[in-house]
Amino acid sequence: MKILESAPHRYDAGINMLSLGRIDRLKKEIAENYISPGDNVLDIGCGTGTLAILCAERRASVIGFDISPQMLNIAQRKIEERHLGEKIELREMGATQMDSAFEDERFDKVVSTLVFSELYSDEQKYVLRQTFRILKPGGLLIIADEVKPNSLLKRSLHLVVRIPLAVITYVFTQTTTRELREIERAITDAGFRMIFTKRSLLGSLGLFVAKKAER
């Protein structure tokens, strides 16, 4: 974590460089297309706070949590620089503590980028069930993450992108990632209806938007 502490800007720059700018563009797309003024938003694994900040700039109230205090320190600094302290609350906690952390139907939107790929399958299912519980009826779950490309050609080309991405993620967060498989089924198994999916970066980066039914 010394690298992070001495040069905290590197995580954002590194991830963005390795995804050829797609990660930043996806976060902007999420905020612009799905976040409305007054929304209560939860950012699962908020990391350095980029998406939480974009949501707050759209006048949403955001809670971002992350298991890494180093990532949260960077997020806190960025939030203070932008004077968004009143709109964003950061919490240091693990995703598997969600059952005791948030009450039922607390949020309008739950967002999470590049985090599900760091969770085990059982953890993903738990987080999806909890997300369903804490979303209001009609609320949205928005996930963007690494996925396995569909075609063999895309899978081969994707390795060129994935290997350095995995290395930088490990260097900066001390965690490993694996591409999401069958995330759409896990999302619908948790009770959601998929309303939008798209893939970019040789089919290796997926955006998944799912809705909890209105009452």
Closer of 7 and 153 to ligand SAM (Cβ): 7
Intra-chain end-to-end CA distance of the chain, in Å = 45
Closer of 108 and 173 to ligand SAM (Cβ): 173
Residue 68 touching ligand SAM (CB under 6 A): yes
Query: Which residue among 53, 114, 140, 143 contacts ligand SAM (CB under 6 A)?
Result: 114
Residue 49: DSSP 8-state:
S
Residue 209 touching ligand SAM (CB under 6 A): no
Task: Please give the C-alpha separations between residue 8 and each of 4, 28, 98, 178, in angstroms, as whole numbers.
Answer: 5, 21, 27, 24
Residue 180 touching ligand SAM (CB under 6 A): no
Residue 47 touching ligand SAM (CB under 6 A): yes
Largest CA distance in the chain: 49
Q: Which two tokens stand for residue 205?
A: 């980066």
Torsion of CA 156, 29, 128, 155, to 10 degrees: 0
Stretch of 80-88, 111-119, 150-158, 194-202 contacting ligand SAM, by CB under 6 A = 111-119
Number of chain positions touching ligand SAM (CB under 6 A): 20
Which residue bears the tokens 């209806």?
Answer: 193
Residue 19 touching ligand SAM (CB under 6 A): no
Within 13 Å and on the Cβ side, how many CA atoms surround 70? 15
Query: Which residue among 173, 186, 202, 206 contacts ligand SAM (CB under 6 A)?
Result: 173
Residues that bind ligand SAM (CB under 6 A): 15, 45-48, 50, 66-68, 71, 94-95, 113-115, 118-119, 169, 173, 175
